Amino acid sequence: MSTKQYGMSVHTSLSPEAAEAHIRQSLSDEGFGILSEIDVAATLKAKLGVERKPYKILGACNPPLANRALQADESIGLLLPCNVVVYEDEDGTVVSAIEPLAMVELSPGVQDIADEAHDALERAIQAVPVG
């Protein structure tokens, strides 16, 4: 698993569809539901005629954590839900999730909530088989 300042990722040899199924299940196991789904590849094809490899954005939400975050800082909704992306690259499929700890820089009052969200998303990402 790799980590960037704003996200955490895993490369897998699974197809994008299989990787998406795995991350959906592991997110559910961690208490997240999918509030929104954007098929970026299909949207770019329809709107711009651009062909690209599969790329989806899943808007994941853990209701208890979201509620606590909103209670701590009403404006934190600008950073919700937690985006998870699944896309194909030259090495296989990438599954990435937003790094909730990045929110702390903008709203220090959500540190404990961001820590919990980070741990849950990290477990979900790590549950995606790499082989």
Q: Which has the closest alpha carbon to 66: 99, 31, 96?
A: 31
CATH number at residue 19: 3.30.310.70
Looking at the structure of the chain, the number of domains it has is 1
Answer whether residue 80 is part of any domain. yes
Answer whether residue 55 is part of any domain. yes
Mean pLDDT of 9-36: 97
Q: Which domain holds residue 54?
A: 2-126
Answer whether residue 118 is part of any domain. yes
Answer whether residue 92 is part of any domain. yes
Answer whether residue 8 is part of any domain. yes
Q: Is pLDDT at 104 greater than 90 in this prediction?
A: no
Prediction pTM value: 0.90
Summarised one tens digit per residue, pLDDT across range 56-101 is 999 999 999 999 999 999 999 998 999 999 999 999 999 999 999 8
Q: Strand 92-98 vs strand 7-12: parallel, antiparallel, or unpaired? A: antiparallel
Rounded Cα–Cα distance for residues 96 and 10 (Å): 7
Q: Are 1 and 127 in contact (CB under 8 A)?
A: no
Q: Are 5 and 99 in contact (CB under 8 A)?
A: yes
Answer whether residue 131 is part of any domain. no
